[in-house]
Amino acid sequence: MAQTFAEVAVNTRTGEIRLDKFYALLDCGTPVNPELALGQIYGATLRAIGHSMSEEIIYDAEGHPLTRDLRSYGAPKIGDIPRDFRAVLVPSDDKVGPFGANRSRKSV
């Protein structure tokens, strides 16, 4: 099971959106490699931030992509990371998985 929570600020005059806080909680049983599990959460979250807030592929009238590099694509940059960004592994004892581990999954 996974839960995510986000707090955003919206400038109603300019339409600018800023992601201030993001919390991701993941039940992965007893993680075999906790740092790797946390890294997966952080990486998946940054991908989701990009998908929802900045990434875009633009095509011309004939269907040819005008977006040809990461700079114009809008992939997230270090400054796009929320000011308060937390990933938490919630321990549980999975009776089915090896050594009490459960599968980790992208929660965003």
Answer whether 44's CB lies under 8 Å from 26's CB. no
The predicted model scores a pTM of: 0.72
Buried b (16+ CB within 10 A) or exposed e, 28-51: bbbbeeeeebbebbeebbbebbbe
Name the maximum alpha-carbon separation found in the chain. 55
- Which class is domain 2-100? alpha beta
Measure the CA–CA gap between 44 and 47, rounded to whole angstroms.
5
* Residue 59 CA: distances (Å) to CA of 2, 6, 55, 62, 73: 35, 31, 14, 8, 12
pLDDT at 84: 96
Answer whether 13's CB lies under 8 Å from 73's CB. no
Domain ranges of the chain: 2-100
Measure the CA–CA gap between 59 and 36, rounded to whole angstroms.
37
pLDDT at 1: 76
pLDDT at 66: 94
Per residue of the chain (108 residues), give pLDDT as tens.
Answer: 788 999 999 999 999 999 999 999 888 778 888 999 899 889 988 898 899 989 999 999 999 999 988 888 988 888 888 999 999 998 877 666 656 556 655 544
